[in-house]
């Protein structure tokens, strides 16, 4: 059996795959904007792929990644409606492998890895049907950039104004833009800035997961999505 190589990225994905309350929360934030044929960018180990496949039975779904190991792992989901592709959204050529019209594309914690993120957004734009949506989740706040970001290959963290400025260089229109998950700001800062740990703390992640029901209420009715460690943006063609 091939020995699994653990990097900061794979360790963080392993943690993410085990905190169901949190990933369900992320998914429920983006789900209302997803319709029709679906293209998931950066599927990784399939944490959100499983949710999409369950909810959109019968829809055509494309799962993708640039890492060949993840492509192999995603093969478990392949069927007549679900296809697996190796796609680098910076590479126009890779989009030629997409054989169906796309109604919804989403990329969760992907764009921050792309050096020319505007070019990548333009590639997505060209792959969508008219009226199609591209949903993104990206890390927020420049002051939070630390060794965790560096270890997993982040080129940047975003501000709202930066997102708006970059989208203005594409043909996309912003339909929704809001912050997400304020509590993780404190854990990210402590873990990366103070303790200099380059991976997500498993214990802290499990505590966060247990607090999700309360956190969702606070964010929805008190903070009203005006602060968070991430920004969710819904773009439309």
The predicted-structure confidence for 127-144, as pLDDT tens digits, reads as follows 999 999 999 999 999 999
- d(CA 154, CA 32) in angstroms, rounded, equals 28
Q: So what's the pLDDT on residue 6?
A: 66
Give Cα 101 distance to the centre of its chain.
Answer: 21
Q: For the chain, 237 residues long, give each residue's pLDDT as a single digit of tens.
A: 344 566 888 888 888 888 999 999 999 999 999 999 999 999 999 999 999 999 999 999 999 999 999 999 999 999 999 999 999 999 999 999 999 999 999 999 999 999 999 999 999 999 999 999 999 999 999 999 999 999 999 999 999 999 999 999 999 999 999 999 999 999 999 999 999 999 888 899 999 999 999 999 999 999 999 999 999 999 999
Query: What phi and psi, each to the nearest 5 degrees, are found at residue 235?
Result: -110, 150
* CB distance 30 to 53 below 8 Å: no
Q: Minimal CA–CA distance to 63: which of 12, 111, 108?
A: 108
Q: Quote the pTM value.
A: 0.95
In sequence order, the 6+-apart residues with CB closer than 8 A to the CB of 98 are 39, 62, 85, 87, 127
- d(CA 128, CA 100) in angstroms, rounded, equals 10
The predicted-structure confidence for 43-95, as pLDDT tens digits, reads as follows 999 999 999 999 999 999 999 999 999 999 999 999 999 999 999 999 999 99
In sequence order, the 6+-apart residues with CB closer than 8 A to the CB of 131 are 103, 236, 237
3-state secondary structure at position 23: helix
Q: So what's the pLDDT on residue 1?
A: 38
Q: So what's the pLDDT on residue 5?
A: 62
Q: So what's the pLDDT on residue 9?
A: 85
Task: Write out the E strands in 80-237.
Answer: 82-86, 102-108, 128-139, 173-180, 230-236
Q: So what's the pLDDT on residue 35?
A: 98
């Amino acid at each position: 059996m091939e020995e699994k190589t653990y990097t900061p990225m794979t360790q963080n994905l392993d943690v993410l795959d085990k905190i169901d309350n949190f990933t369900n929360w992320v998914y429920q934030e983006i789900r209302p904007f997803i319709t029709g044929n679906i293209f998931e960018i950066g599927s990784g180990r399939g944490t959100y792929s499983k949710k999409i496949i369950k909810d959109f039975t019968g829809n055509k779904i494309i799962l993708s990644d640039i890492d060949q190991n993840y492509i192999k792992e995603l093969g478990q989901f392949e069927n007549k409606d679900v296809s697996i592709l190796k796609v680098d959204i910076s590479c126009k050529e890779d989009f030629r492998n997409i054989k169906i019209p796309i109604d919804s594309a989403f990329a969760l914690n992907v764009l921050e890895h792309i050096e020319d993120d505007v070019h990548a957004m333009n590639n997505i734009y060209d792959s969508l049907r008219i009226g199609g949506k591209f949903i993104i989740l990206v890390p927020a706040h420049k002051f939070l950039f630390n060794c965790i970001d560096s270890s997993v290959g982040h080129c940047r963290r975003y501000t709202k104004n930066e997102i708006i400025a970059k989208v203005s260089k594409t043909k996309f229109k912003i339909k929704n833009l809001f912050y997400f998950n304020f509590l993780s700001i404190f854990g990210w800062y402590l873990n990366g800035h103070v303790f200099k740990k380059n991976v997500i703390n498993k214990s802290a992640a499990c505590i966060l997961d247990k607090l999700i029901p309360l956190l969702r209420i606070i964010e929805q009715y008190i903070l009203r999505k005006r602060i968070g460690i991430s920004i969710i943006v819904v773009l439309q063609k």
